[in-house]
Amino acid sequence: MSALVTTNPATGEPLAEYAVLSDAEVDAALHRAAAAQQEWAALPIGERAVVLRRVAAILRGEIDDLALLVTREMGKPLVEARAEVEKCATTCDWYADNAAALLADEPVATSADRSWISHEPVGVVLAVMPWNFPLWQVLRFAAPALMAGNAALLKHSPNTTGCAVAVQRIVTAAGGPEGLFGALVVAEADVPAVTQRLIADPRVGAVTITGSERAGRAVGAAAGDAIKKSVLELGGSDPFVVLADADLPRVAALAARGRLVNAGQSCISPKRLVVDASVAEEFTRLLVAEVEALVVGDPEAPGTHVGPMARADLRDGVHRQVEASVAAGARLLTGGRPLPGPGCFYAPTVLGDVVPGVPAYDEEVFGPVAAVMVARDEDDAVRIANDTRFGLGASVWTTDPERGVAVARRIRSGAAFVNALVASDARMPFGGTRASGYGRELAAAGIREFVNVRTWWVLDEPAATAPVSE
């Protein structure tokens, strides 16, 4: 295949065509990235910060065009796409403002005359990124990786190739050395071999992936074989625990919007709504009403809440999960069908009576489907929340925040939110546990994933004796 074509999921119409890279061109991109990294790492961190602030300024200056590109490539409503661009800019500014302090040498009092810890770049960071937040997923790894002195190579999802090319253009326009950030347009059949070859190359110091369990296992295995640091941000089936004392109307409204943001195609959206039996009937009634009130339609039109899913195969996969769930005993309360006409639209769906053995209970459903699970009491809610192989985020809803914290402490997850929808923030680390992956993005933890933590021990004169132990 010599070209990759992107398609608008709202209309089915082709958008753009991109030439795919040969092996030699991929190697050339890696060569440029490695050379640029040496130049970039030699700059004072304050000069890197100037470039990252320019990235943020360009993002804001082009917000309308970039948001439209996101919407046309993967289908989210324009209001969500604009928010994504702004979040990228905010995160670039945050790392520009804070990276010097986060990576500063740390003096340590020892028997040496001087001893300290430094944080030094690892080289080129390879990123394999998904389509669902096609700018945010990229910038949330790239901002800290670049500020730490690394270069970056991106293998983006084919259907959001335009977003990958845009980030490459923006980093270069902001003053990054040529090749510092490279977008690799690779034919889909060649991705496993190209990824494995890049991970094995000594110039690549680390790899990060946001994606499926299957892709994460492959990338993690390749990184382990090459003895490279890796960060895996994989699937999620987050519990949304509604306790008996919750404010049901407000919580149901938030559950509907949280579950259906980005047409449900979010790792951290609340996929499993675990509700105390004493309020389950009322909560479910309110939830269905909220879901049915949301406007599904053209993502470029004002007032649209839910756009199409990103691809037809993804929509069809979600529909199979819904049909199998109903066949296994779940109750279809609303939705549950592809919508007619062009594009990849799926009716926002609520399933009730979701219990073990039902696909919506056992599997991650990556689409506009909310699964309601009834818990006998607080202990049972915790049990259901933990009855998953995933562990990305969790939220607990109650009028007693201290009770919410106590319940959340018993749930295994990388993030715990009380009376708020799970979301990422540059100031807080982001990542999961168990099958949701390992490592962290964002905050101090995120920038330190892509550095060599180096020990320094300096004596003014040679030691009088050798150590008697290692």
Question: Alpha-carbon distance 467 to 462, whole Å?
Answer: 12
Q: What CA–CA distance (Å, rounded) separates 383 from 355?
A: 12
- pLDDT at residue 452 is higher than 60: yes
CA atoms in the 13 A half-sphere facing the CB of 353: 9
Give the percent of the chain with pLDDT over 90. Answer: 99
Strand partners, 416: 394
* Cα–Cα dist 311/300, whole Å: 17
Q: In angstroms, what is the C-alpha Rg of the chain?
A: 23
Q: Quick one: which of 118, 144, 137, 123 has its CA closest to 458?
A: 118
pLDDT, residue 322, reads 98
Does 1 score more than 80 pLDDT? no
CA distance 462 to 398: 63
Domain boundary assignment for the chain: 3-235+432-456, 239-418
In the chain, the percentage of residues whose pLDDT exceeds 70 is 100
How far apart are alpha carbons 359 and 353 in whole angstroms?
A: 12
For 26-80, how does the pLDDT look when each residue is reduced to its tens digit (9 = 90+)?
999 999 999 999 999 999 999 999 999 999 999 999 999 999 999 999 999 999 9
What is 239-418's CATH number? 3.40.309.10
* H-type alpha helices, 159-207: 161-173, 191-200
Is-contact 346 297, C-beta < 8 A?
Answer: no
Q: Which of 88, 92, 163, 267 is catalytic?
A: 267
Query: What are the start-end ranges of the E strands in 224-362?
Result: 229-233, 238-242, 270-276, 331-334, 349-352
- Terminal C-alpha separation, the chain: 55
> What DSSP element (H or E) covers 16?
strand 14-19
The 8 Å CB, 24+ separation contacts for 348-355 are 348/260, 348/264, 348/291, 348/292, 348/294, 348/296, 348/306, 349/291, 349/322, 350/284, 350/287, 350/288, 350/291, 351/322, 351/325, 351/326, 352/284, 353/329, 354/272, 354/325, 354/330, 355/329
- pLDDT surpassing 60 at residue 306: yes
Is residue 131 pLDDT above 90, yes or no?
yes
Distance CA 414, CA 405 (A): 14
290 is catalytic: no
Residue with tokens 């639209």: 345
268 phi, psi to nearest 5 deg: -105, 10
From residue 157, give the alpha-carbon distance in Å to each of 187, 215, 437.
Answer: 10, 12, 19
Residue 219 in contact with residue 207, Cβ under 8 Å?
A: yes
Average pLDDT score over residue span 443-451: 98
| Residues 197-216 pLDDT 10s | 999 999 999 999 999 999 99
Tell me which residue has tokens 């090459």.
226
**Length, in residues, of the chain:** 470
For residue 2, the model assigns a pLDDT of: 78
Distance CA 261, CA 398 (A): 22
From 73, 80, 84, 233, active-site residue = 233
Closest CA relative to residue 283, chosen from 237, 313, 330, 243: 243
For 364-417, write each residue's pLDDT tens digit: 999 999 999 999 999 999 999 999 999 999 999 999 999 999 999 999 999 999
Domain covering 3-235+432-456: architecture: 3-Layer(aba) Sandwich (3.40)
Strand segments, DSSP code E, in 225-375 are 229-233, 238-242, 270-276, 331-334, 349-352, 369-375
b/e code 387-397 from CB counts within 10 Å (16+ = b): ebebbbbbbbb
Is there a contact between 419 and 401 (Cβ–Cβ < 8 Å)?
Answer: yes
Pairing of strands 229-233, 204-210: parallel
How does pLDDT run across 251-275, given as a tens digit for each residue?
A: 999 999 999 999 999 999 999 999 9
Exposed, middle or buried: residue 454 (CB in 10 Å: 0-12, 13-18, 19+)? exposed
Q: Residue 206's closest CA among 455, 31, 453, 449?
A: 449
Q: Please state, rounded to an integer, the average pLDDT across all residues of the chain.
A: 98
Give me the pLDDT at residue 69, please: 98
Q: Strand runs (DSSP E) across 20-130, as ranges?
A: 106-107, 114-121, 124-128
CB count within 10 Å of CB 194 equals 17
Identify the burial level of 344 via C-beta atoms within 10 angstroms of its C-beta, where 0-12 means exposed, 13-18 middle and 19 or more buried.
Answer: buried
For 134-144, b where at least 16 C-beta lie within 10 A, e where not — what string? bbbbbbbbbbb
Query: What's the gap between Cα 414 and its chain centre?
Result: 13
Helix, strand, or coil here: 119?
strand
233 is catalytic: yes
Check pLDDT > 60 for residue 105.
yes
Task: Round to whole Å and give the CA distance between 336 and 321.
Answer: 10
Is the pLDDT score of 314 beyond 70? yes
